[in-house]
Amino acid sequence: MAIQIKVPTVGESITEVTIANWLKKDGDVVKLDEVIAELESDKATFELTAPSAGVLKIIKQQGETVPIGGLLCEVEPSGATAASPAPAQPAAPPAAAPAAQAPAEPKKAGGVKEMKVPTVGESITEVTISTWLKKDGDLVKLDEVIAEVESDKATFELPAEATGILRIVAKEKTTLPIGGLICRIEITDGAAASNGAAATQPAVATAAVAGDKTYAAGHPSPTAAKILDEKGIPANQVSGTGVGGRITQTDAQNAQKAQAPAATAGKPAETKAPLAPPVIASGGGRNVRNEKMTSLRKTIAKRLVSVKNETAMLTTFNEVDMKPVMDLRSKYKDQFKEKYGVGLGFMSFFTKAVCAALKEFPAVNASINGDEIIYHDYCDVSIAVSTPRGLVVPVIRNAEALSFNQIESEVVRLATKGRDGKLSIEEMTGGTFSITNGGVFGSMLSTPILNPPQSAILGMHNIVERPVVKNGEIVIRPIMYVALSYDHRIVDGRESVSFLVRVKEMMEDPGRLILGV
The set of catalytic residues is 488, 492
Which amino acid appears at position 429 of this protein?
T
Q: Residue type for 303, please?
A: R
CA 28 to chain centre: 44
Q: How far is CA 410 from CA 330, 390, 397, 407, 500, in A?
A: 21, 20, 9, 5, 24
Alpha carbon 391 to its chain's center = 30
Q: How many helices (H) and strands (E) does the chain have?
A: 12, 27
Q: Which residues contact 482 (CB under 8 A, 6 or more apart)?
A: 317, 318, 319, 320, 458, 459, 460, 461, 500, 503, 504
Angle value at C-alpha 516, between 515 and 517, nearest 5 degrees? 95
Label the pairing between strands 456-460 and 433-437. parallel
| Residue 349 neighbours by CB under 8 Å, 6+ apart | 325, 404, 507, 510, 513
Q: Are 244 and 215 in contact (CB under 8 A)?
A: yes
Quickly list DSSP for 28-70: -EE-TT-EEEEEE-SS-EEEEE-SSSEEEEE-SPTT-EEETT-
For residue 369, list its beta bridge partners. Answer: 372
